[in-house]
Amino acid sequence: MTPEEFAALARQAGLTLRPGSEKEMAAAYERLMELAQRVRAAQAEPAHVFRPPDTPLKGEKL
């Protein structure tokens, strides 16, 4: 991704970048997209509820 492409993406997201930061931010963004790609294939139900394993919520029977 070029610094110019990154600057356009950032503008679209409503970000105001530090002057002159586009090049390093574009490189960091590429790394971020690698991380995002790494989890893309996950199939499980999202981990949106936290409770201790084997501990029922109030009124729930496991």
Residues in contact with another protein by CB under 8 A are 9-10, 13-18, 21, 24-25, 27-29, 31-32, 35-36, 38-48, 50-53, 55
User: Would you state the structure tokens that stand for residue 45, as one six-digit string?
Assistant: 């139900």
What minimum distance in Å lies between the beta carbon of 4 and another protein?
16
What minimum distance in Å lies between the beta carbon of 62 and another protein?
14
What minimum distance in Å lies between the beta carbon of 42 and another protein?
4
Distance CA 24, CA 3 (A): 8
First to last CA, the chain: 49
